[in-house]
Structure 1
Amino acid sequence: AKVTSTTFEWRRSDGRWQQQTRDVFERGNAAALLPYNLRQRTIVLIRQFRYPAYINGHDDLLIEAIAGLLDDAHPDVRIRAEAEEESGYRLHDVREIFEAFMSPGAVTEKIHFFVGEYEPEMRIGAGGGLAHEGEDIEVLELSFDEALAMIDNGRIVDAKTIMLLQYAALKIFK
């Protein structure tokens, strides 16, 4: 990851040129996943400490969708590996539903969003993340309705997670 400062000329809509300077954080692209079980009406999320959220006033662990940087891997390969590392679930099929820039004013990162069905027997490990990467992750299996309510009551404040839960409300758990 690196931060660069770039100055460039931008042609404004009125035809005039204007010099602009932007600081850009380049960290690579990522993938995020919401595992769901339609029959049980459940989803799998994770809870972990996030230092940037903490220093901006979030004095609790963050509840999030499974996610990780691509590190030059194909998004669907990387997200299956992240699912296993973080949650202990080995998912067979995941499908990409959309891509989005999360903070395009300053960050180059684009996230590939996935959903995938899970069954209890797909859990082959405890999850928890990779200790050598500083991960200490708690796995949460929640009813979908409870997770959706956690947006309203402020317990889920992570944008990628909110987006995936709202997608699931519109397209999966209708």
Structure 2
Amino acid sequence: MDASKDVDVISRETVFQGYFRVDRYRLRHRTFAGGWSRELVREVFERGHAVVVLLYDPERDEVALIEQFRPGAYAAGWHPWLIECVAGIIEAGEHPDDVARRETREEAGADPEAMVHVGDFLLTAGGSSESCRLYCARIDSRAIHGVHGLESEGEDIRTHVVSTAEALAMVRDGRINNAMAVLALQWLVLEKDRVRRELAR
């Protein structure tokens, strides 16, 4: 979609550049009434775009999840070790499919045997440009165990293999509270019969 006719960017400047970047926009946009909004000043967190991979064993109806420390959860006052799906940032020039395979190897020690593209999602569009491409990948859950991650990136990632039913119970009781993991698991429950056919060997 081309929004260039409906959004007037007056200026954009980078106000912070560290591990991530923050840009300040001055803009206005067309309103539903047909005019233009007043000038808005908004900071946008430029985190980059990511892939998320739900690792699923259709033969055993099990999922492989990862657990790692998250500074954002700590800053929010939540328990900072979150149970999540495999995920990673898409670097310039990379194809999301390749990132999904690489991150599955790095974070779970496995190679996806097949992948289904589930969809593309915005996480916090009110203040960040980040999007996530979600995949469901077939794996052999018997091969997944231990601690993984790149030492050079400070990663310390523990793997968990549970039944789909147990993963959904973890969503219900709050043990899984990462938004993309919740979305992925609820999607799997709704689409499981189709996914098992598509990922069948």
TM bin, normalised by shorter chain, reads: over 0.9
Q: Extract structure 1 runs of 4+ deviating beyond 6 A.
A: none
1:80 maps to which residue?
101
| 2:160 counterpart SS class | strand
**TM, length-normalised to structure 1:** 0.93
Q: How many residues align?
A: 173
Whether 2:28 is the aligned partner of 1:28: answer no
1:91 maps to which residue?
112
2:29 maps to which residue?
10
| 1:166 counterpart SS class | helix
What is the letter of the counterpart of residue 120 of structure 2?
E
CA shift for structure 1 position 3: 0.1
CA, structure 1 residues 97+132, in 2 after alignment: closer, same or farther (shift >3 Å)? Answer: same
5+ residue gaps in structure 1? none
Question: Is the 8 Å Cα contact of residues 54 and 85 (structure 2) preserved in structure 1?
Answer: yes
What is the letter of the counterpart of residue 88 of structure 1?
G
What do you get for the CA RMSD once the two structures are aligned?
1.7
| 1:164 counterpart SS class | helix
Rg comparison, structure with higher value: 2
Question: Is the 8 Å Cα contact of residues 34 and 115 (structure 1) preserved in structure 2?
Answer: yes
| 2:148 counterpart SS class | coil
- Report the Cα distance in structure 2 between the residues aligned to 1:11 and 1:168, rounded to whole angstroms: 38
CA shift for structure 1 position 67: 0.3
**TM, length-normalised to structure 2:** 0.81
1:55 maps to which residue?
75
Question: Is the 8 Å Cα contact of residues 146 and 158 (structure 2) preserved in structure 1?
Answer: no
Whether 2:46 is the aligned partner of 1:42: answer no
Q: Equivalent of 2:128, from 107, 115, 119?
A: 107
Highest RCO, 1 vs 2 (Cα 8 Å, sep ≥ 6): 1
Question: Is the 8 Å Cα contact of residues 66 and 85 (structure 2) preserved in structure 1?
Answer: yes
| 1:104 counterpart SS class | coil
- Report the Cα distance in structure 1 between the residues aligned to 2:83 and 2:170, rounded to whole angstroms: 9
